Amino acid sequence: MKIIPFDTSGEFALYCPSTNEIIFSSDEKRVNYKAEAFVAVWMDEHNYNPMIKDSELLTGWKEFLRLSFKKEPITDEMVTTFLKGYKNPDWIVYTSTFEPADESIDIFTVWFVVIADTIIE
């Protein structure tokens, strides 16, 4: 899948025009998991258990882990490798790095898998 970085420093919305849904925005700060356009999300602190709605993608992730997992934690590079290598022309990946307001939490990366006509507004 194609991976597209996006900037979260200002106002934004991850919006799908074909389903008329906002998946994630700077206003809400919560992922709309129920959106038809939402397929999956990885957050680097939750890489072992990303939220994946599509059963084939979930099976692919589990197989990737089975084949590549060692005793180290999953890395951002592993997630990127999996997503780049997963073939589905109907989906794209938006990724960004977030700096939480709570200073006790480290900066983290998020990958959103969404249907391909989703845009950043």
Confidence of residue 83 (pLDDT cuts 50, 70, 90): very high
Question: Which amino acid type is present at position 61?
Answer: W
Pairing of strands 119-120, 13-16: antiparallel
pLDDT at 66 (0 to 100): 86
Dihedral sign for Cα 19, 28, 6, 120, please.
Answer: positive
Residue 10 has pLDDT above 70, yes or no: yes
d(CA 34, CA 63): 25
Mean pLDDT of 52-65: 94
Decide: helix, strand or coil at residue 104. coil
Would you list the domain boundaries of the chain? 3-120
d(CA 79, CA 28): 25
Sheet of 119-120: strands edge to edge? 21-25, 13-16, 119-120
Confidence of residue 17 (pLDDT cuts 50, 70, 90): very high
Mean pLDDT of 68-94: 88
Residue 52 has pLDDT above 80, yes or no: yes
